[in-house]
Amino acid sequence: MSVSTNGKKAMHIVLGGTFDPVHFGHLRMTQEMLNRFPTAKISLMPAAYPPHRPQPGASPQQRIEMLQLVAGKYPQLTVDNRELQRKEPSYSVVTLREIRHELEQKGVGDACLVFLMGTDAFAKLNEWYQWQELIKLTNILVVGRPSSQLPTEGEVAEFYQNFAIEDLESLPQHSFGKVGFCQMPQLDISSTYIREQINQGFSPRFLLPDGILEYINQHGLYGLNPKS
Ligand code: ATP
Ligand code: MG
Protein backbone atom coordinates (compact mmCIF):
# COMPACT_ATOMS: atom_id res chain seq x y z
CA MET A 1 0.00 0.00 0.00
CA SER A 2 0.99 3.64 -0.40
CA VAL A 3 3.54 5.44 1.76
CA SER A 4 3.97 9.22 2.09
CA THR A 5 7.25 10.46 0.65
CA ASN A 6 8.82 13.92 0.77
CA GLY A 7 5.68 15.46 2.22
CA LYS A 8 3.73 14.43 -0.85
CA LYS A 9 0.56 12.50 -0.34
CA ALA A 10 0.70 8.82 -1.12
CA MET A 11 -1.43 8.01 -4.13
CA HIS A 12 -3.55 4.93 -4.38
CA ILE A 13 -5.51 4.23 -7.55
CA VAL A 14 -8.27 1.62 -7.72
CA LEU A 15 -9.55 0.16 -10.97
CA GLY A 16 -12.67 -1.87 -10.36
CA GLY A 17 -14.26 -4.09 -12.95
CA THR A 18 -15.41 -7.57 -13.71
CA PHE A 19 -12.22 -8.33 -15.65
CA ASP A 20 -13.80 -11.21 -17.49
CA PRO A 21 -11.11 -11.30 -18.82
CA VAL A 22 -8.60 -8.52 -18.11
CA HIS A 23 -7.42 -6.94 -21.40
CA PHE A 24 -5.15 -4.24 -22.82
CA GLY A 25 -7.88 -1.60 -22.45
CA HIS A 26 -7.67 -2.03 -18.67
CA LEU A 27 -3.92 -2.38 -18.60
CA ARG A 28 -3.14 0.58 -20.78
CA MET A 29 -5.26 2.72 -18.43
CA THR A 30 -3.03 1.71 -15.54
CA GLN A 31 0.12 2.53 -17.49
CA GLU A 32 -1.26 5.93 -18.50
CA MET A 33 -1.81 6.59 -14.80
CA LEU A 34 1.73 5.55 -13.94
CA ASN A 35 3.10 7.76 -16.71
CA ARG A 36 1.37 10.73 -15.06
CA PHE A 37 1.74 9.66 -11.42
CA PRO A 38 4.85 7.45 -11.25
CA THR A 39 4.74 6.79 -7.50
CA ALA A 40 1.12 5.66 -7.47
CA LYS A 41 0.12 2.19 -6.40
CA ILE A 42 -2.67 0.65 -8.42
CA SER A 43 -5.14 -1.99 -7.28
CA LEU A 44 -7.08 -4.06 -9.75
CA MET A 45 -10.27 -4.91 -7.93
CA PRO A 46 -12.49 -7.60 -9.42
CA ALA A 47 -16.16 -7.17 -8.61
CA ALA A 48 -18.82 -9.75 -8.08
CA TYR A 49 -21.35 -9.80 -10.92
CA PRO A 50 -24.57 -8.11 -9.94
CA PRO A 51 -27.48 -10.56 -10.05
CA HIS A 52 -29.16 -8.77 -12.99
CA ARG A 53 -26.07 -9.09 -15.23
CA PRO A 54 -25.50 -12.21 -17.28
CA GLN A 55 -23.19 -14.44 -15.31
CA PRO A 56 -19.63 -14.57 -16.61
CA GLY A 57 -17.72 -17.35 -18.29
CA ALA A 58 -14.91 -17.32 -15.76
CA SER A 59 -15.36 -18.08 -12.08
CA PRO A 60 -14.38 -15.47 -9.48
CA GLN A 61 -11.26 -17.53 -8.72
CA GLN A 62 -10.31 -17.65 -12.40
CA ARG A 63 -10.80 -13.91 -12.78
CA ILE A 64 -8.53 -13.40 -9.78
CA GLU A 65 -5.91 -15.76 -11.19
CA MET A 66 -5.87 -13.96 -14.53
CA LEU A 67 -5.35 -10.64 -12.76
CA GLN A 68 -2.62 -12.15 -10.62
CA LEU A 69 -0.82 -13.34 -13.73
CA VAL A 70 -0.57 -9.73 -14.88
CA ALA A 71 0.03 -8.11 -11.51
CA GLY A 72 2.79 -10.60 -10.75
CA LYS A 73 4.85 -9.01 -13.52
CA TYR A 74 4.42 -5.38 -12.55
CA PRO A 75 5.26 -4.31 -9.00
CA GLN A 76 3.03 -1.22 -9.11
CA LEU A 77 -0.03 -3.39 -9.71
CA THR A 78 -1.76 -5.45 -7.06
CA VAL A 79 -4.96 -7.45 -7.02
CA ASP A 80 -7.50 -6.62 -4.35
CA ASN A 81 -9.89 -9.53 -3.91
CA ARG A 82 -12.02 -8.19 -1.13
CA GLU A 83 -15.23 -7.78 -3.14
CA LEU A 84 -15.15 -11.37 -4.36
CA GLN A 85 -14.55 -12.63 -0.85
CA ARG A 86 -17.67 -10.98 0.56
CA LYS A 87 -20.82 -13.01 0.95
CA GLU A 88 -23.10 -9.98 0.79
CA PRO A 89 -23.44 -7.78 -2.35
CA SER A 90 -20.34 -5.68 -2.88
CA TYR A 91 -20.87 -1.95 -3.18
CA SER A 92 -18.05 0.37 -4.19
CA VAL A 93 -18.98 2.86 -1.50
CA VAL A 94 -18.53 0.20 1.18
CA THR A 95 -15.21 -0.89 -0.31
CA LEU A 96 -13.85 2.62 -0.57
CA ARG A 97 -14.87 3.38 3.00
CA GLU A 98 -12.94 0.28 4.04
CA ILE A 99 -9.88 1.33 2.03
CA ARG A 100 -9.95 4.85 3.54
CA HIS A 101 -10.08 3.28 6.97
CA GLU A 102 -7.11 1.05 6.19
CA LEU A 103 -5.10 4.02 4.95
CA GLU A 104 -5.82 5.80 8.23
CA GLN A 105 -4.66 2.79 10.19
CA LYS A 106 -1.44 2.75 8.19
CA GLY A 107 -0.80 6.37 9.09
CA VAL A 108 -1.50 7.70 5.59
CA GLY A 109 -5.07 8.81 6.19
CA ASP A 110 -4.50 11.81 3.92
CA ALA A 111 -3.52 9.62 0.95
CA CYS A 112 -4.90 10.59 -2.41
CA LEU A 113 -7.38 7.89 -3.31
CA VAL A 114 -8.48 7.68 -6.94
CA PHE A 115 -11.26 5.54 -8.32
CA LEU A 116 -10.61 5.01 -12.00
CA MET A 117 -13.32 4.24 -14.54
CA GLY A 118 -14.21 4.50 -18.19
CA THR A 119 -16.81 6.93 -19.51
CA ASP A 120 -19.33 4.10 -19.93
CA ALA A 121 -19.19 3.29 -16.23
CA PHE A 122 -19.18 6.95 -15.20
CA ALA A 123 -22.26 7.74 -17.31
CA LYS A 124 -24.23 5.27 -15.19
CA LEU A 125 -22.77 6.29 -11.85
CA ASN A 126 -26.16 7.42 -10.57
CA GLU A 127 -27.31 3.78 -10.65
CA TRP A 128 -24.69 2.86 -8.03
CA TYR A 129 -25.62 2.37 -4.41
CA GLN A 130 -25.14 5.65 -2.47
CA TRP A 131 -23.23 7.08 -5.42
CA GLN A 132 -23.11 10.60 -4.07
CA GLU A 133 -21.20 9.38 -1.02
CA LEU A 134 -18.31 8.20 -3.19
CA ILE A 135 -16.84 11.64 -3.61
CA LYS A 136 -16.53 12.05 0.18
CA LEU A 137 -14.17 9.08 0.16
CA THR A 138 -12.25 9.23 -3.09
CA ASN A 139 -11.42 11.20 -6.19
CA ILE A 140 -12.84 9.87 -9.44
CA LEU A 141 -10.83 9.83 -12.63
CA VAL A 142 -12.72 9.14 -15.83
CA VAL A 143 -11.01 7.84 -18.92
CA GLY A 144 -12.44 8.19 -22.41
CA ARG A 145 -13.76 5.01 -23.94
CA PRO A 146 -14.95 4.56 -27.53
CA SER A 147 -18.72 4.68 -28.01
CA SER A 148 -19.35 6.53 -24.76
CA GLN A 149 -18.79 10.06 -23.60
CA LEU A 150 -18.91 12.19 -20.50
CA PRO A 151 -22.57 12.92 -19.85
CA THR A 152 -23.59 16.47 -20.81
CA GLU A 153 -26.91 16.55 -18.98
CA GLY A 154 -28.58 14.90 -16.02
CA GLU A 155 -27.41 14.34 -12.48
CA VAL A 156 -24.08 12.73 -13.34
CA ALA A 157 -23.19 15.70 -15.57
CA GLU A 158 -24.10 18.02 -12.72
CA PHE A 159 -22.04 15.95 -10.31
CA TYR A 160 -19.09 16.20 -12.68
CA GLN A 161 -19.39 19.98 -12.87
CA ASN A 162 -19.70 20.35 -9.10
CA PHE A 163 -16.54 18.41 -8.34
CA ALA A 164 -14.46 18.95 -11.48
CA ILE A 165 -10.75 19.47 -10.91
CA GLU A 166 -9.26 22.34 -12.90
CA ASP A 167 -5.80 20.99 -13.31
CA LEU A 168 -5.29 17.23 -13.37
CA GLU A 169 -1.68 17.62 -12.26
CA SER A 170 -2.90 18.87 -8.90
CA LEU A 171 -4.89 15.68 -8.29
CA PRO A 172 -2.28 14.14 -5.96
CA GLN A 173 -2.86 17.06 -3.56
CA HIS A 174 -6.46 16.02 -2.99
CA SER A 175 -7.26 13.12 -0.70
CA PHE A 176 -10.80 12.91 -2.13
CA GLY A 177 -13.53 15.15 -3.50
CA LYS A 178 -12.44 15.78 -7.10
CA VAL A 179 -13.57 14.42 -10.43
CA GLY A 180 -11.27 14.56 -13.44
CA PHE A 181 -11.25 13.48 -17.03
CA CYS A 182 -8.10 11.99 -18.46
CA GLN A 183 -7.33 12.01 -22.17
CA MET A 184 -5.49 9.02 -23.51
CA PRO A 185 -5.45 7.12 -26.77
CA GLN A 186 -8.68 5.17 -26.74
CA LEU A 187 -8.58 1.43 -27.25
CA ASP A 188 -11.76 -0.11 -28.53
CA ILE A 189 -11.32 -3.34 -26.60
CA SER A 190 -13.89 -4.91 -24.30
CA SER A 191 -14.15 -8.17 -22.43
CA THR A 192 -17.50 -8.71 -24.13
CA TYR A 193 -15.85 -8.59 -27.56
CA ILE A 194 -13.11 -10.97 -26.42
CA ARG A 195 -15.65 -13.44 -25.04
CA GLU A 196 -17.66 -13.23 -28.26
CA GLN A 197 -14.62 -13.77 -30.44
CA ILE A 198 -13.65 -16.89 -28.49
CA ASN A 199 -17.20 -18.14 -28.47
CA GLN A 200 -17.32 -17.83 -32.25
CA GLY A 201 -14.06 -19.74 -32.57
CA PHE A 202 -11.89 -16.71 -33.37
CA SER A 203 -8.71 -15.75 -31.60
CA PRO A 204 -8.66 -12.64 -29.38
CA ARG A 205 -4.87 -12.51 -29.71
CA PHE A 206 -3.33 -8.99 -29.44
CA LEU A 207 -6.31 -7.69 -27.47
CA LEU A 208 -4.95 -9.05 -24.21
CA PRO A 209 -1.63 -10.38 -22.88
CA ASP A 210 -0.48 -13.71 -24.30
CA GLY A 211 -0.28 -15.16 -20.78
CA ILE A 212 -3.97 -14.45 -20.25
CA LEU A 213 -4.85 -16.03 -23.57
CA GLU A 214 -2.86 -19.11 -22.59
CA TYR A 215 -4.76 -19.25 -19.30
CA ILE A 216 -8.08 -18.97 -21.16
CA ASN A 217 -7.09 -21.77 -23.50
CA GLN A 218 -5.82 -24.00 -20.72
CA HIS A 219 -9.05 -23.61 -18.78
CA GLY A 220 -11.33 -23.74 -21.82
CA LEU A 221 -12.98 -20.46 -20.89
CA TYR A 222 -15.65 -18.62 -22.84
CA GLY A 223 -16.92 -21.37 -25.02
CA LEU A 224 -15.27 -22.91 -28.03
CA ASN A 225 -11.54 -23.44 -28.23
CA PRO A 226 -10.03 -20.36 -29.85
CA LYS A 227 -7.92 -20.72 -32.99
CA SER A 228 -4.77 -19.13 -31.62
P1 ATP B 1 -17.47 -6.08 -20.28
O2 ATP B 1 -17.50 -5.94 -21.78
O3 ATP B 1 -17.63 -7.48 -19.78
O4 ATP B 1 -18.36 -5.09 -19.56
P5 ATP B 1 -15.21 -4.36 -20.03
O6 ATP B 1 -14.26 -4.45 -21.15
O7 ATP B 1 -16.19 -3.21 -20.03
O8 ATP B 1 -15.97 -5.72 -19.85
P9 ATP B 1 -14.92 -4.08 -17.23
O10 ATP B 1 -14.23 -5.06 -16.35
O11 ATP B 1 -16.40 -4.02 -17.25
O12 ATP B 1 -14.37 -4.34 -18.72
O13 ATP B 1 -14.32 -2.62 -17.02
C14 ATP B 1 -13.77 -2.17 -15.81
C15 ATP B 1 -13.51 -0.68 -15.92
O16 ATP B 1 -12.55 -0.44 -16.95
C17 ATP B 1 -14.75 0.14 -16.28
O18 ATP B 1 -14.69 1.37 -15.58
C19 ATP B 1 -14.60 0.37 -17.76
O20 ATP B 1 -15.21 1.56 -18.19
C21 ATP B 1 -13.09 0.46 -17.91
N22 ATP B 1 -12.62 0.02 -19.22
C23 ATP B 1 -12.66 -1.23 -19.71
N24 ATP B 1 -12.15 -1.28 -20.95
C25 ATP B 1 -11.77 -0.03 -21.27
C26 ATP B 1 -11.19 0.57 -22.42
N27 ATP B 1 -10.90 -0.14 -23.51
N28 ATP B 1 -10.92 1.90 -22.38
C29 ATP B 1 -11.24 2.63 -21.28
N30 ATP B 1 -11.80 2.12 -20.16
C31 ATP B 1 -12.06 0.81 -20.14
MG1 MG C 1 -17.84 -3.19 -18.70
Ligand 1 atom nearest the C-alpha of 186 is 28
What ipTM was estimated for this complex? 0.99
Domain regions of the chain by residue span: 11-219
Q: Tens of pLDDT along 8-52?
A: 789 999 999 999 999 999 999 999 999 999 999 999 999 987 666
Per-residue pLDDT at 8: 74
State the pLDDT confidence band at 81, using cuts at 50, 70 and 90.
very high
Could you tell me which of 123, 45, 50 has the C-alpha nearest to residue 82? 45
Q: Tens of pLDDT along 119-147?
A: 999 999 999 999 999 999 999 999 999 98
DSSP character for 110?
T
Which of 190, 207, 216, 222 is the best mutation target for the ligand 1 pocket, counting ligand atoms within 8 Å of the beta carbon and taking the most? 190
pLDDT(1) > 60:
no
pTM: predicted TM-score of the whole model, two decimal places:
0.94
Ligand 1 neighbour 145 (Cβ under 6 A): yes
Ligand 1 neighbour 197 (Cβ under 6 A): no
Nearest CA to ligand 1 atom 30: 118
Rg of the chain on CA atoms, in Å: 17
Ligand 1 atom nearest the C-alpha of 22 is 10
pLDDT(55) > 80:
no
* CATH architecture entry for 11-219: 3-Layer(aba) Sandwich (3.40)
- Return the number of other C-beta atoms located less than 10 Å from residue 50's C-beta: 10
Per-residue pLDDT at 88: 83
User: Which own/partner contact pairs does 80-83 have at CB distance under 8 Å and 24+ positions apart?
Assistant: 80/14, 80/43, 80/44, 80/45, 81/45, 81/46, 82/45, 83/16, 83/45, 83/46, 83/47, 83/48
Ligand 1 neighbour 187 (Cβ under 6 A): yes
Nearest CA to ligand 1 atom 6: 190
